[in-house]
Amino acid sequence: MPLTVKFCASDPQDRFRPVIQEAVDRGTDIDVAVAFMTKAGVDLFTRWVRALDPARCRLCVSVQFPTNIDALRDLSGLLGDRLFIHLGSKKPEEIAVGKSTLSPLLHSKIIWIAHGQETVSIFVGSHNWTSKALDGANFEASTLLVCEPNEQFSQDVKAHLDACVHASEVFNPADIDFYKSIQSALFSDGPQPIRREIIEEFTPAEAVVIHAEDHRADATQGTLQLYLPLKRAMPLRWFEPIGKTVYLYLYPPGTLLGHPTPTSDPHFYEGTVRAVSGDVDDPITGRAVNAQIPDLTRPQLMVVGGNIPALMPGIVAQVVANLRAHGTVSLPVFVADRSRPGVRIEPRYDETTETPRSEDRVPLPRDLGRYYADGSIKDGRFVFQTPLPVRTTTVSIPGINLYRIPPARTVQEIILRRQRQSLRHADDESSRRREADVVVLTEATDDRFEYVYLVYHVLGSVHGTHQ
């Protein structure tokens, strides 16, 4: 039988903080499961962890708002793998009014404090670990029971706490954005959707990219003084101002034009624009060049002997660029987005499971379904959906057909590698599950300029992988 039973809230606005502090002051171990924990609650638990041995402290908390995820991240530095977070479920969903969400969550409020091997103090009640609950702003109630550790009541409480932990996962600081995205998905007045996590492997590379077949008899020249006569469809602004970077990829004759995908790797040239003119009445003349691409819609590099050739009909602008050879490369992944690509993390709830113990439970009453949204009950039992992280990267990749290796696969491999590095606390099964949830979306640019386009970022180095 319990040695002490005490109701802690004859006044429902009594401060709860000093009551539990008195028990902790005599404690050696603490085990807590609580629905909501704001910074006030995290700060209180942090003081206890520092006063006790962190290995003797355990905390399990719901992910749902208003739990402070950033504060829990700081606490995880002390608690490590003894801090657990319950991710909840989107179903079964009780029918609500307005924007309210009534999805399942960890809703326990239990504190188990051991005093050596002699007694345990157990608080069971309504108090969340928010300042409003701990410091008397809310109307709350809790009951304190003091008993011996081997009594059935204490063992049942520990079994409940173990069940909460079993249904949760170790808090992983690398998954902060995922936890916040769950809050945003389940609570309309909670945090705003999470910003993108920038993919640092994409580096700035603002340039004009040109793909062409090399029809010179001698393709061994290390430098090009390249002349580009522009027809009306090709914007001169792409090549402005002077000094604009140009990346030229040259393919052997017959391996680029007329193929869905190039049949060979290109030879890479890099340089800058040295002259531009949009005035055909005052054209660029007298400048030495050694090569030209007469038509950028069907680009073929030709030898030019001497100066810039005479203007042909239909030419409305001129560009001259100096380029230097870098050897044969694999085409790197270029991005037409001005902002650096990033990963947006969102929860997905399309994997539906029932609770492990559902087979042992009595089927629900038939008329209970009227209180729940469609799909919440199946075969007389609640249906649960646990969230999985979906990492979505949307990039605009021009010239997508010019890649011999699909660029989506290359980007996906980068994201997968980042995920492996971030899953510090996850077990092998969890790692495989999360790696499978990466989604990469790609968008091609204007088809009118299949072989010429503007880029702003590149994955890795513009020099790609040398062959």
Amino acid of residue 9: A
Tell me how far CA of residue 102 lies from CA of 59, 240, 325, in angstroms: 24, 57, 63
What's the token pair of residue 124? 């069971």
Amino acid of residue 161: L
Contact criterion met (CB below 8 Å) for 311 and 165 = no
Contact criterion met (CB below 8 Å) for 221 and 305 = no
Under-70 pLDDT residues of the chain: 1-2, 97-102, 188-195, 220, 233, 350-361, 418-448, 464-467
Q: What is residue 329's three-state secondary structure?
A: strand
CA angle 251, 256, 261 (to 5 degrees): 120
For the CA atoms of 185, 186, 191, 196, the dihedral, rounded to the nearest 10 degrees, stands at -20
What's the token pair of residue 45? 């638990």
User: How would you class 337 by CB atoms within 10 Å of its CB: exposed for 0-12, middle for 13-18, buried for 19 or more?
Assistant: middle
What's residue 37's pLDDT? 96
The domain segmentation of the chain, as residue ranges, is 4-186, 202-331+450-457, 335-448
Q: What is the CATH number of domain 4-186?
A: 3.30.870.10
The answer to pTM > 0.85 is no
DSSP 400: G
What's residue 353's pLDDT? 54
DSSP 98: T
What's the token pair of residue 375? 């799909």
Phi/psi at 157 (5° precision): -65, -45
pLDDT in tens, 258-287: 998 999 999 999 999 999 998 888 888 888
What's residue 435's pLDDT? 44
User: Which residue(s) pair with 29 in the sheet?
Assistant: 114
